[in-house]
Structure 1
Amino acid sequence: MMSKAVEFTDDSFEDEVINADAEKPVLVDFWAEWCGPCKMVGPVVEELAEEFEGKAKIGKVDVDSNPETSTKYGIRSIPSLLIFKDGEVVDQIVGAVPKAQLKKQLEAQLTN
């Protein structure tokens, strides 16, 4: 199955997230291969990427491969999910939370 979530890197983050289409929120999942709770959130992020296709951009940052971006946004515990709008962080979710909660927080950014 083709991943719908975009893989953001230190190199692409600025273009893909900060300078993204201002109309659409961007959900970024900061994760790592060795993180147990991240493995629970991963499939949920993929489902949201499918459900919000065309309405929001959804992607992931591997904190081990992209330390610059993780440090810049003060990611200390993973999974951490940040929602960006107009290049700014507008919401943050730390830890493995239910899909319904993530969806609600993302939908809140679609309306304003």
Structure 2
Amino acid sequence: MILDRVDYKDYRRDHALITARKAEYAGIRRNSDGMACFAFRAPGKARATLVEVSFIQRIDISGRQFVPPQYRNWSQRVAEIEAFIEGDKTATSIAKPQIREKSPSEQKRPWWRRLFG
């Protein structure tokens, strides 16, 4: 998958905003610190640039733009970015947390009863 543009912050270069044009998506990898990173490489190049998930600011693919929301849970952000790159229109539905329905007995009982039995 060739991406038109990837904007990301490079914290090693004094928080510089770096734009990679015509980058090829090369999957998700872990860097030496163990952080999840997206691998991008220039078309025709063998070496990929690893960009941490939290550093990605914006992605453009054939006229579609995606600005990933700031989550504390990086796995949600990874899922949304990956879904956008793969072309899934329902990227936001992947990252929604599952809300458990309360049973009727839980709804009626006061919180101290649920806590102490």
Name the TM-score, length of structure 2 as normaliser: 0.31
Q: Which has the higher contact order (CA 8 A, sep 6+)?
A: 1
Largest Rg, 1 or 2: 2
User: Greater strand share, 1 or 2?
Assistant: 2
Name the TM-score, length of structure 1 as normaliser: 0.32
User: Greater helix share, 1 or 2?
Assistant: 1
